[in-house]
Structure 1
């Protein structure tokens, strides 16, 4: 996240009180934002605003900065809750917030950041921003429900198409579609209808890449535990396609482990499953799907920004998108 945006996010948050408990509360709210993160979604929003004619230093760009801060706050409160729901160990290379402070305090911190997100949206003064954030959050929650319910009900009778529907809801709207639309709104422009179709494709590509990195990424760069998706029982395209052709014995061992909670899984067996997945063609198939989705989404956006108000900013936006969909860490 760029320094000026981080500063804006932190400016909304409490700095502490005389009571040590409230100082601890203020520190918890600042924890995830201060851990860093690439800020790709907020960068995409700001690039969209510039491409639509909102030049830095103008009131329109000021509104875009507040919306970008709101998007960062959204990302952080969602991650706190997501880490609890997934029983995750780490976030951005450090213990997850609930591992440090317990579940009740972490939930409360996430709830507080949620409210500060709305304060940032209100400060933006951008017409249409509130309904756009509501739509984004509704879709993200629906996707999260699909993901969590499959885990909760031990549901593995799924196909790659089910996975795509889930990530279109859970990832695509807040990662690509809404940042593009909010940037246009901040500039006083009408969002291009192509943003939705392009965003669904690009959001899917982004999530598939993240799934691949969770299995085969560099731990120092990835920021989460490698193989965590297996421990959490995540339904990824890689796993679902592997299950279609897996040897019966391996499939049986896998499903037996997935019937257990995270802490009850056998680490040695999970390591074997991890190796089976890496050795299978399902990783390559998933990468090929991500590449095709990214190419389709980029083509749609290149057409949508062909006559952008600021061509240079449009080129920068496409560079951000390309990095998002093909990232290596």
Structure 2
């Protein structure tokens, strides 16, 4: 995230205390925000605010910055909980918070950052901002519930439509739909109805690209462990497409491994599955699907922004969304 947003986030958090335990708590609260990240959601929010006529440095810009900081806080507390729920090893190139400090302390830090998120929303004072955050959290939790339920129940009798419903709930709303809407709200503009279908398509493209990168991305650029989705038993468009046509023995090995908890999976078998997926046509199929979703979403977004007050900012926003939905790292 941009330095001014990081400074704003850190300024909200409690300062050092005389007690060593609370000094530790203060450092844990700052850990994930300080690890960086691209800040794509907060940047999209600010780009939307500029597109809708809000100038940096104006009185309303302060509200946009607080909403952007709140979005970064949302991202960080959700990631802490997500890493625990998925039993992840790494986040942004370092051990996940619960790997460093244990599950109970990490949960508590995530809960605390959740509260500071609402403080940032309150400081923004943007009409409709709280309602947008509430809707975003509801949808994200629903998508996460689908994801976790399928993992917990070892459910693989799923369709591509099931996957797309999950990612539109879990990823698209907080990655694209709500940042676009919050930017308009910060500028005092009612969000265009086309932001939702555009954001759902672009968010799906973003997540499918992420699924591809999890299989074959550069670990230094990706920020998470390559192949982690297989260890965590994630349902992806790639896997569901491959599973529908996989040779019998490969399918048997896959389902047997996916019936195990992460710690019990056979590294050699997972490496074989990883290779089978990369050698299949399913990665290309997923990329083609992501490209189609990106084109659809960008077309709708371009229509929605055709009459926006700042067309230079609109072009920058569309370029930003194009890069996000077609990213290779």
Write the deviation string for residues 136-187 of structure 1: whole angstroms up to 9, x where unpaired.
Answer: 0000000000000000000000011100000000001000000000000000
C-alpha RMSD of matched pairs (Å): 0.5
Measure, in 2, the Cα distance between the counterparts of 1:102 and 1:319. 41
The structural deviation recorded for 1:81 is 0.1
Structure 1 unaligned spans of 5+: none
Alignment of 1:124-163 (within 5 A): 124-163=124-163
The structural deviation recorded for 1:303 is 1.0
| Structure 2 residue 38 is the aligned partner of structure 1 residue 18 | no
Aligned to 1:189: 189
SS at match of 2:191: coil
Aligned to 2:298: 298
Measure, in 2, the Cα distance between the counterparts of 1:251 and 1:82. 28
Aligned to 1:272: 272
Aligned to 1:221: 221
SS at match of 1:15: coil
| Structure 2 residue 313 is the aligned partner of structure 1 residue 313 | yes
Write the deviation string for residues 26-71 of structure 1: whole angstroms up to 9, x where unpaired.
Answer: 0000000000000000000000000001100112111000000000
Deviates more, 1:56-65 or 1:167-176: 56-65
The structural deviation recorded for 1:308 is 1.1
Alignment of 1:2-41 (within 5 A): 2-41=2-41
The structural deviation recorded for 1:16 is 1.3
Deviates more, 1:252-261 or 1:313-322: 313-322
Aligned to 1:69: 69
Measure, in 1, the Cα distance between the counterparts of 2:56 and 2:175. 23
Aligned to 1:251: 251
Aligned to 2:173: 173
Aligned to 1:81: 81
Aligned to 1:113: 113
How does the TM-score come out when normalised to structure 2? Answer: 0.99
Write the deviation string for residues 256-305 of structure 1: whole angstroms up to 9, x where unpaired.
Answer: 00000000000011000000000000000000000000011001111111
Give the number of equivalent residue pairs: 329
Structure 2 unaligned spans of 5+: none
The structural deviation recorded for 1:15 is 2.1
Measure, in 1, the Cα distance between the counterparts of 2:22 and 2:319. 42
Measure, in 1, the Cα distance between the counterparts of 2:315 and 2:73. 27
| Structure 2 residue 43 is the aligned partner of structure 1 residue 43 | yes
Measure, in 2, the Cα distance between the counterparts of 1:80 and 1:9. 16
